[in-house]
Structure 1
Amino acid sequence: MFTRQRPEAQTKPQEARARFRGGLVTTTSGWSHGYVQANLVSVPARHAIALRRFAVRNPRACPLLDVVGPGRYWTDLAFGADLRRDLPAYQVWSKGALVAERSDVVDFWGNDLVTFLIGCTFTFEPFLERAGIPLRHLEQGANVPMYRTSLKCLGARRFQGPVVVSMRPLPAAMVDRAAAITMDMPYAHGAPVHVGRPAAIGIRDLDRPDFGDRVALEAGDVPVFWACGVTLQEAVVKAKLPFAITHAPGHMLITDRRAKISGTGEVRVIR
């Protein structure tokens, strides 16, 4: 069903998580084809209601897959997973400042942390590949580039901020096909939010992403932008919470849930 050119594409989620728990640090784009990937954001419980409201108000950027109650580090989306150890890389924040980058956060975990799992565009990439649509960041061995934009989220109490987007250069003739495929995967951010001129959404220089790596456009490519789950992380950082844990951009939780084209046009929680 999916391409087999990279061994990690065929790695089962449990095996991938075991490798990350063992210390492998890598971006998860191209891993475990056919399975849903998720962003992670953990905040003190007293901020969870407002942060959930922020996510619900901004479903394109923050499609909720699961909300894990205080202190828990497991989810029904991934059997046996340990949310403290099974992502390749984490970031720890205090009052808006990055204070640590770790391959696990066991020592930082607290009993009052509520964890949000948010959909990721890495989920739909195998479907694009199956349709013959090239993914330049994988061709170039890079993390997908991500940018803050001038697009504004709907706020919720102290949580405010811009929409963050990921960018994939696509051949112009393939943009409509890519949009049609991803539109039916709202739990993975759905259709692109913008195609073409980066300046129209406040991006000054494609060669200087805010997160991830620079990716070069090939002749005939146009930049295509999808909403990105790092939007939720940005809202948490801007809120300057006393403490928060997030995934490192591009380093996701690989779940056991099969990715599907829904055809509903609606954002829904995956159970």
Structure 2
Amino acid sequence: MEIFDCVIVGAGPAGLNASLVLGRARRNVALIDNGTNRNRVTQLSHGFVTRDGIKPEEFKDIALEELKNYPSVQFFQETVTQIQKRSDQTLFQVRTQDEKLYIAEKIILAAGLTEVHPSVPDLKTFYGKSIFSCPYCDGWELRDQPLIVVAEQEKGVHHMAKLVYNWSRDLVVATNGNQISAHLKNELEYRNIVVVTEPIKKLHGEDGYLQAVEFASELKMKRIGGFIVPEFHRPNSFAEQLGCEFKEKGVMVMDGLGRTTQKNVYSAGEFSQVSPSALILAAADGSNAAFAVNADITNERF
């Protein structure tokens, strides 16, 4: 069975860039991905110099095409279900849903995150077209428009309302049936931000583009877009399976180049932090992890 220098789990920007760097370093790489990237519902991605406004699927296609220049990198469309050390403790065994096995000396975990959205009816219809989670990614396109921020926890309300206020002063904050402190409510209303704490009954619009938000009391407010505050979770337990250590809130303990507390296990992108990341930052993480992998292989084999 072929033994890879590195198996990279996840072909988001982190995994793709790690594959590119390792391919150029002549390392034998298996890049495994199942097509569930978090940004697949996004119409356009922003903030990546030379690629501002690119469709996420086009970004991925370009990257995979570039990887074909490096024959030591192989791409596999599979779902990884288990990663464990072999009995000899020197290599890793990566198992997929189709019972395929990949053997590797190093592992880069770059599987990204999954989102849990606020419980708003039909939210998925609008998410990625007129309702988003990152103002840095989509705030420019919604600037100076009537917007809504949907956040169910006080911390999320405070953070997102302040942030979105930079792009539009015509702002409604909806807590979807949850209460916030009088202090925060007064702070928002002082800036003419409308606060609605009753549940959202319905989102009105066409083809995913928001036109109005209706609340439980039948109050209806014109809004053409907005931002939500999701919760983020790792989609798997690979880091736990491998015995990696964590800090508060599930953040992985790593050095500055993505080395985890488990020898030969590295991590990159959103997977490491359990928090969203811009494309360009995730790609940089992937590059750093690849530098670490190549440096460690070089030192071990020289």
- Structure having the higher helix fraction is 2
Indicate the TM-score class for this superposition, using the shorter chain for normalisation: under 0.3
Point out the structure with max Rg over C-alpha.
Answer: 2
Larger RCO: 1 or 2 (CA < 8 Å, sep 6+): 1
- Normalising by structure 1, what TM-score? 0.24
- Normalising by structure 2, what TM-score? 0.23
